Amino acid sequence: MKIAIVANGQEKSKKIEKELKVLIADTNAEIEMNSPDIVITVGGDGTLLSAFHQYAHLLDKVRFVGIHTGHLGFYTDWRDYELAALVESLSKDQGNSVSYPLLEVHVTYGNNQQKKYLALNESTIRNVNRTMVTDIFIKEELFEVFRGDGLSIATPTGSTAYNKSVGGAVLHPRINALQLTEIASLNNRVYRTLGSPVVIPSDEWIQLKLSEHGEYLLTIDQLNFKEQNIKKIVYKIAKERIHFASYRHTHFWLRVRDAFICDSKVGEALE
């Protein structure tokens, strides 16, 4: 088994990376950064997002494992004091995995040039210097004309990230759907949008038709791009999925409760 380790810049993470390498050296697994079977991240959810983009070209063969060095993460199951148990699970690995949906973002420019991105959390689009105006289509039908700061389109696992901050719902990751959420929409007697988040099933897609004269900020997870001359953006659930090595299961609603409400020791455990 070939293992890559991606740690964030914190001292604590670097220390754990070293300890992990020592433990792995004692097994029949080896460290291999270029074409790994397993990518272990050490840090937070942001570290896992970076590793996802680093290995996005290998999604069909790579499985991810997240070790968190801070508070409970959504993509990070293992605590820093559980390294021995994790390496033990790795050495007994039977290839089990759990996979989650990804967002495909397809941008078409005025000159018909095209770009495709994959997001694990979400993609947002905003106009840099004025109100963003865009036609929103669901499939090929015009749904509404949006005016406001921008829009967020999130995956189920991204629903607890930026999506939640802009009033989106938390979606269980078994639901294969995308969520469109408004960022400060203008709503009055002249301009009207639905005003609530919309959840789109896997056989539908969202299209934005934008003014080619606008200057936009496009984000794909933690990455951001200043864009000009965008004509159209299509969002759909990607064919690719992200795979996590599953050695144990943390109940999704337990993570949500731990992250946003209270420590899991308080109150009853969720099954």
State the catalytic residues.
Answer: 45
Among 52, 55, 74, 205, binds ligand NAP (CB under 6 A): 74
Residue 77, interface with ligand NAP (CB under 6 A)? no
Cα dist from 151 to 50, 116, 172, 225, 228, whole Å: 22, 18, 21, 15, 17
Is 147 annotated to bind ligand?
yes
Q: What is the Cα–Cα distance from 128 to 134, expressed in whole angstroms? A: 14
Residues 138-167 that bind ligand NAP (CB under 6 A): 157-158, 160-162, 165
Residue with smallest beta-carbon separation from ligand NAP: 46
Binding range to Mn ion, per CB under 5 A, among 41-49, 115-123, 144-152, 164-172: 41-49
Residue with smaller CB distance to Mn ion, 44 or 156: 44
Q: What is the Cα–Cα distance from 233 to 133, expressed in whole angstroms? A: 13
Among 12, 14, 19, 46, binds Mn ion (CB under 5 A): 46
What is the longest distance spanned by two Cα atoms in the chain?
69
Dihedral-angle region of residue 112 (phi above 0 means left; psi in -120 to 50 means alpha; beta otherwise): left
Q: What is the Cα–Cα distance from 158 to 107, expressed in whole angstroms? A: 20
Other Cβ atoms within 10 Å of 145 Cβ, number? 13
Residues 81-100 that bind ligand NAP (CB under 6 A): none
Residues that bind ligand NAP (CB under 6 A): 44-46, 49, 70, 73-74, 121-122, 157-158, 160-162, 165, 221-222
Which residue ranges are tagged as binding site?
A: 45-46, 121-122, 147, 149, 160-165, 184
